Structure 1
């Protein structure tokens, strides 16, 4: 198992950020090539998983399109992973005490409030356009940590932890916004189903059920119920994650004692080996080894086990597929005017300017008022620089853009394209400026032994 700290988060996201860049470029090329029509029609293909008359991937008895499947189901897995991460950090990590969490949370609040204000002031008073007010709220954790990791041991540990914690708090804010503002007409029958299933999960957690399949199967039906209830289905991922037990079935100390006992009893001389080196274990040996394997599985909590198991599928499949499906902005008929007015400009300014201004100003004020202190090893110059990286808003920003404008007619399609262009350009500007500021303001030499184990 991996080290479950915010420092390990950097290693986790470095490679995935590179893949995201490649996938985004490929999506842009394909969407604006001779394959563009095929690329766009691909996402309208129906997806189903049926048993008799029941179709798991259906909404209102209509099969989900491939785009809906990606945005509603695969992204629910992404938010399930985020939920596990948030729960872990609330229990034992950087969100476990107010002292640890306060500065990143204050910064995240500023980083959500100011971009929303800029969007609202920049966009014309148009109800359809204002559906996307929340688009520039998010910080993409993979891209932002990926850029910061390029400076290796020059980056103070406290600065890395601040950015990682703020990105998680941002995700939590985005989840709340999706739950409150992007739900449609509610269907009480399906809400009741979801409520009953969540009660079952709560009972399972309370009675220390540690079977991961229990939470996966019931969680899948929670997702289906919420999908058809009018609440956005991705919220199911976060809600279910908070019911997954963080307590292992067997303590580490008990497991070590158990392991020593089994090893001492292991009959080494019972195995049979032929002249070719093939070894056949005795039934007693097999039973002892399986007993040790079962005990080791119970020593890892379901929360950590699922978080670890989902890490590669999320980083190397779910998010790249989401990026390929959503980053293919059709540039036909789009000019720089799209970035000089309306949704494109509002999103661009919200990310490139609003995120930085919000995070830095709220954090600066909190420090000056004595509520919090700067992260360990940081000064105002490098803190100022890392705040610029918070304007890299890709995955969750793209997701909220789709929730805002997808499937609401021709005008909605145009606004969605403008929003995606604003996200791409705003994120690039924030990333490049952040990199330049960090290159200038970080220490010229590695920080030594305190950063020894960091990427």
Structure 2
């Protein structure tokens, strides 16, 4: 028994680690820090050479090849976008976005949080590198929520939901921007093939096919078609997510009765004197129970459960490592600081995000469209706006699409890292300050109330 208890405790510990957004964010940050360190040593050149190595699949005369770096940025990040799409579909189906009026406020705030950074960037780069206007528009969901989780109960639950919804809407807007402005010259045959894949996904959903493997297989084919079509291939992940079924093909009302019958069968088949390998009746029934219980969970949740740990602890750290290779050896730091691209990205994230989010939120509250989230304050909304400036993953992805390798991309990535760190630290400090001020006000109000009661008595 002690050995069994230790194994169970170890599994619970691993489950807690893998479910912690804070730890996932820390792993991604660590990967970025390692990348920056490696980029400024002699290891930079072999690492770059490795990332540029091709991965090839050969079937007869057919050869498909992609570099390791492109595989990370295009294929693995499509899996990340699949997780984003799943989260968005969940919120639309059973979460915060089911109530249109309640969901519209953070969605509109996200629009403000996209518009203001783009305008600030454009002002800094008027007549120059305006093509990078979209670099500072995005919020990193995993990173920002991981930072917010460090605040514990200092943030009202409704404010957390507001920020989660805002971050999801923000990423959706980023995805739309990538689709509209950062594709290549489209290839009509591959676009037709992509549309055919989408049509088959729609048919599977309408025919109520609940085996996730068919959707995933078609998702890979869709990704390959979109990679060659000129549309950014990572969007295949979002498209796939919206066709994954959200229902179960098992009648949930009958599950309990069916399980009770199977439990009786297993009790009858169990022989305490026989080894488990010889108890075929029991294990056969157990396999039936496992199959049914597996099918109780909708495919959307099954896929989410399968990819969440790889996304948080493998894909995002790999992406951070591959794209945070900022080699500043021999580069004048002042030249980066003075670069309009760096200034536009940094101030777009650190100032534009909170300004845009707060301006739209204040306007909606002022006109009576919706009150602040229950239990939240303007101080907490300020903290939400500041943490919106944590734009690590999506911003780096868009910077790679906006600029070729060179000084502009280096300046943009340096600014993204600096802004994300600044927004994280500033957001945490503000959360603690706001919480302390609000607690003092609450305590003062309680003391005044007690004095008033004593005076009245």
Global fold match (TM > 0.5): yes
* 2:38 counterpart residue number: 30
**TM-score for both structures, normalised by structure 2:** 0.89
* 1:233 counterpart residue number: 233
* Aligned positions of 1:384-395 closer than 5 A: 384-395=382-393
* 2:7 counterpart residue number: none
1:62-107 per-position Cα deviation (integer Å, ceiling 9, x unaligned): x211111111100001001111111111111111121221221111
C-alpha distance in 1, partners of 2:99/2:60? 50
Does structure 2 conserve the Cα–Cα contact (< 8 Å) formed by 1:138 and 1:397? Answer: yes
- Tell me the CA shift for residue 336 of structure 1: 2.6
Q: Alignment partner of 1:280: what SS? A: helix
1:342 aligned residue (340, 344, 361): 340
1:104-126 per-position Cα deviation (integer Å, ceiling 9, x unaligned): 11110000000001111111413
C-alpha distance in 2, partners of 1:355/1:121? 15
1:82 aligned residue (78, 84, 87): 84
Does structure 2 conserve the Cα–Cα contact (< 8 Å) formed by 1:273 and 1:279? Answer: no
* 1:107 counterpart = 2:109: yes
What count of residue pairs does the alignment treat as equivalent? 423
- Tell me the CA shift for residue 225 of structure 1: 0.3
- Tell me the CA shift for residue 269 of structure 1: 5.0
1:390-423 per-position Cα deviation (integer Å, ceiling 9, x unaligned): 10110000000111113xxxxx422111110010
Which shows bigger deviation, 429-438 or 77-86?
Answer: 429-438
Q: Alignment partner of 2:406: what SS? A: helix
Does structure 1 conserve the Cα–Cα contact (< 8 Å) formed by 2:21 and 2:149? Answer: no
Change (3 A) 1:158 1:271: same
1:310 aligned residue (291, 301, 307): 307
Q: Alignment partner of 1:64: what SS? A: strand
Does structure 2 conserve the Cα–Cα contact (< 8 Å) formed by 1:124 and 1:342? Answer: no
Does structure 2 conserve the Cα–Cα contact (< 8 Å) formed by 1:178 and 1:400? Answer: yes
* Aligned positions of 1:344-423 closer than 5 A: 344-406=342-404, 412-423=405-416
1:354-389 per-position Cα deviation (integer Å, ceiling 9, x unaligned): 111111111111111111111111111221122111
Change (3 A) 1:100 1:281: farther
Higher helix share: 2
Does structure 1 conserve the Cα–Cα contact (< 8 Å) formed by 2:269 and 2:281? Answer: no
C-alpha distance in 2, partners of 1:177/1:49? 31
Does structure 2 conserve the Cα–Cα contact (< 8 Å) formed by 1:77 and 1:237? Answer: yes
- Tell me the CA shift for residue 12 of structure 1: 4.3
C-alpha distance in 2, partners of 1:47/1:273? 54
Which shows bigger deviation, 143-152 or 265-274?
Answer: 265-274
1:405-446 per-position Cα deviation (integer Å, ceiling 9, x unaligned): 13xxxxx4221111100101111111121111111002577x
* Aligned positions of 1:64-143 closer than 5 A: 64-126=66-128, 129-143=129-143
C-alpha distance in 2, partners of 1:14/1:185? 40
1:178-208 per-position Cα deviation (integer Å, ceiling 9, x unaligned): 1111111111111111111111111110011
C-alpha distance in 1, partners of 2:278/2:105? 57
Q: Alignment partner of 2:74: what SS? A: helix
Which shows bigger deviation, 149-158 or 236-245?
Answer: 149-158
Which shows bigger deviation, 46-55 or 369-378?
Answer: 46-55
C-alpha distance in 2, partners of 1:181/1:70? 21
C-alpha distance in 2, partners of 1:414/1:385? 32
Does structure 1 conserve the Cα–Cα contact (< 8 Å) formed by 2:154 and 2:431? Answer: no
Does structure 2 conserve the Cα–Cα contact (< 8 Å) formed by 1:248 and 1:299? Answer: yes
Does structure 1 conserve the Cα–Cα contact (< 8 Å) formed by 2:389 and 2:419? Answer: yes
Q: Alignment partner of 1:49: what SS? A: strand
Change (3 A) 1:335 1:254: same
**Structure of larger gyration radius:** 2
C-alpha distance in 2, partners of 1:336/1:257? 71
Gapped runs of 5+ residues in structure 1?
1-7, 407-411, 448-455
Which shows bigger deviation, 376-385 or 355-364?
Answer: 376-385
Does structure 2 conserve the Cα–Cα contact (< 8 Å) formed by 1:136 and 1:347? Answer: yes
Gapped runs of 5+ residues in structure 2?
1-15, 443-457
C-alpha distance in 2, partners of 1:370/1:291? 55
Q: Alignment partner of 2:229: what SS? A: coil
* 1:291 counterpart = 2:288: yes
* 2:273 counterpart residue number: 273
Does structure 2 conserve the Cα–Cα contact (< 8 Å) formed by 1:386 and 1:438? Answer: no
